[in-house]
Structure 1
Amino acid sequence: MWVTSYSTTALMPTSVALGNFDGVHRGHQQVIDRVFSSASATIAPETPPNPNSSPSLPILGSETELPLQLTQERPRDRNFGKICTAVVTFNPHPQEFFSRQPRTYLTTLDEKEDRIRALGVDWLVLLPFDGQLAQLSPQAFVEEILVRQLNARQVSVGQDFRFGCQRVGTATDLQAIAANYGIVTNIVSLEMQAGERISSSSIRASLSEGRISRANRLLGYAYRLTGTVEKGQQLGRTLGFPTANLNIPVEKYLPRWGVYSVRVDTPNVTGHPGVMNIGCRPTVKGERPTVEVHLLEWSQDLYGQTVTVHLQDFLRPEQKFESLDALKAQIQKDCDRAKSELAS
């Protein structure tokens, strides 16, 4: 998948999924899935590829490209003569731009890239959301972004998509404007789960309430936290339950404070059972929130390694115990319960 921070001029026609896609949840996946419906059709290339062209020439790029790695050959090299699939999103999130306040996300940029790559998309375009883009009218947005820069032949959006200055443009407005340029617009109905709309906000609400099963069901995968293992106070080791302290990116949304059953991916092992605690550890007078993971029946050193924790279930809220012995007894109960639930 070719990743870029801006589009100058697409050298190939594209089928575009447009949106913020925080979480890349089941509803987003439906929007993205529609870009493949027309991308399978081949077109006659107007100009054959130049075999002597510089391999560093970007397909969708400029001097503002982000330092993200190209992990496969570029779409032009392997799909010339076809409509390429593209996911186009905004960086930063428009709400963060307008509020001027840092925002937390269900997926970090790296996680979003991973999930979109797994869907088989050719391009991920991260449009810089700045004052210039924010001032574009719906008509100008279609002309400048979809027509001139992306060479779009088809665009897919969710039913509640809004665009243009002050978000005045609706999905049906996009459909009408784009039709003047021969662009087909697919408006995807809101994905529902048990009669309830799937959205990033509803997933956040579930995570904040500790309703992990529901959040995972809406996402279509287990919510995850990824961080580098760093040294902490090593209090867990003295209690007989050594923990890996994770340095989580500040922009990552953290669920409700408390104890969770989890599955852990290390550089060498996938899906190892464990117990995670998020919070300030009131029993030992912790001063700042931490994310600590105890891997069941594990003895290897993880310091400095990157670990991914997949949340499975919320076991209990964080609480203060009257003694370390009481805390130790509760941790043992948490481990026993997690082991039993993960085994089943």
Structure 2
Amino acid sequence: MKIYNHLSEFKRLNNAVATIGTFDGVHFGHQKIINRLCELAKNTDGESVILTFFPHPRLIIDPENQDLKMINTIEEKAEILAALGVDHLIITPFTRDFSNMNPAEYIKNILVDTIGIKQLIVGYDHRFGKDRSGGMLDLVAFSKPYGYEIEEIKEQDINDVAVSSTKIRKSLLEGQVGLAAEYLGYNFSLYGPVIKGDKIGRTIGFPTANIFIEQPYKIIPSDGIYAVTVEMENETYKGMAYIGQRPTINGMTRNIEVNIFDFNKEIYGQYIRMNFMEFLRHDVKFTGLEALKIQLQQDKEDTLAYFAQQR
């Protein structure tokens, strides 16, 4: 997959089969659109193109509200889209000027003149242009003059609940990582370098790797204990993760730590990926380290029991 960091880097195609969106999470509903995109490109000897935006449009349109967090980093999104078979990914900066483009200008200048669309696939709720005033009626109206075809993907449901990035974010913030995985079609993950901690865990038999999340816009699940898998150096390990402020030792900052089972190497500075499999319990304050140690032993047993059930 070829990646472009601005529309100006993209060379117009003769037979572009395109779709547009932020695709945060690249969830189950998004995947239906993207699979159809790749299928249509293959069947028509075209090339699949995704136009996405960074930062998220809501952060530009509503600058007062900076609380929005992303399910994927832009790198994670690109990795997932590449695995789905997309040919071209255009990551264009979303600016105030871009957001003020009227629907007619957007269709002609971006979709037709810059990308060269011959076929366009959009989701059922796709909006674009100034004040999100553009929609399916505009796309259809301009399709004949500009010589492209358009296809709308209907709403995709899971268990009669519509999939959306908003619902996935809500699930993660409530610790419901299993539900988030159902929506996403894969397990939510955090990726970052291992940094030095205060090494309290190793004094009670549960050493942890502290992970630093480099992107401030990445969503972090609710505080608590989770069953996770950890990927590093082409190996995958089981473990239990902790997110919280460590109230038992009166911690002041929110930590992300993982106790990796059957592992004792020093990995400071190494990047690891932590995949969230199951929520185990909420964060609580214990009377001391001995009580915490007893609970962590139970957490480990619960984690191993979870993995045993997955076989």
- Corresponding residue for 2:160? 195
Taking the TM superposition and a 5 Å limit, the aligned residue runs for 1:181-192 are 181-192=146-157
CA contact (8 A) 1:2 1:122 kept: yes
Unpaired segments ≥5 residues, structure 1 = 43-81
Partner Cα distance (1:197, 1:41) in 2: 29
Offset, 1:172: 3.6
- Corresponding residue for 1:83? 46
CA RMSD of aligned residues (A): 1.4
Say whether 1:258 aligns with 2:260.
Answer: no
1:27 alignment partner, one of 26, 29, 37? 29
Taking the TM superposition and a 5 Å limit, the aligned residue runs for 1:101-120 are 101=66, 103-120=68-85
Aligned length: 304
SS in 2 for 1:162: coil
Offset, 1:113: 0.6
Partner Cα distance (2:174, 2:39) in 1: 38
Offset, 1:176: 2.7
2:120 alignment partner, one of 150, 155, 162? 155
Unpaired segments ≥5 residues, structure 2 = none
- Corresponding residue for 2:62? 99
Offset, 1:102: 6.4
Deviations 1:136-157 (A, max 9, x none): 1111100010000000111111
CA contact (8 A) 2:175 2:221 kept: yes
Partner Cα distance (2:99, 2:163) in 1: 27
Offset, 1:336: 0.8
- Corresponding residue for 1:2? 2
CA contact (8 A) 2:191 2:272 kept: yes
Partner Cα distance (2:72, 2:52) in 1: 13
**Are the structure 2 counterparts of residues 277 and 340 from structure 1 closer, same or farther at C-alpha, using a change threshold of 3 Å?**
same
CA contact (8 A) 1:276 1:294 kept: yes
Normalised to the residue count of structure 1, the TM-score between the two structures is 0.85
SS in 2 for 1:163: coil
CA contact (8 A) 2:38 2:85 kept: no
Offset, 1:41: 4.5
Taking the TM superposition and a 5 Å limit, the aligned residue runs for 1:273-312 are 273-312=238-277
CA contact (8 A) 1:158 1:171 kept: no
Partner Cα distance (1:26, 1:321) in 2: 39
Flag the structure with higher helix content: 2
CA contact (8 A) 1:34 1:186 kept: no
CA contact (8 A) 1:207 1:255 kept: yes
Partner Cα distance (1:12, 1:293) in 2: 49
- Corresponding residue for 1:267? 233
**Are the structure 2 counterparts of residues 178 and 288 from structure 1 closer, same or farther at C-alpha, using a change threshold of 3 Å?**
farther
SS in 1 for 2:305: helix
CA contact (8 A) 1:13 1:150 kept: no
SS in 2 for 1:240: coil
Deviations 1:174-228 (A, max 9, x none): 2332343121111111110000000001111111122221110100000111110
Partner Cα distance (1:125, 1:102) in 2: 25
Partner Cα distance (1:343, 1:180) in 2: 60
CA contact (8 A) 1:280 1:287 kept: yes
CA contact (8 A) 1:267 1:305 kept: no
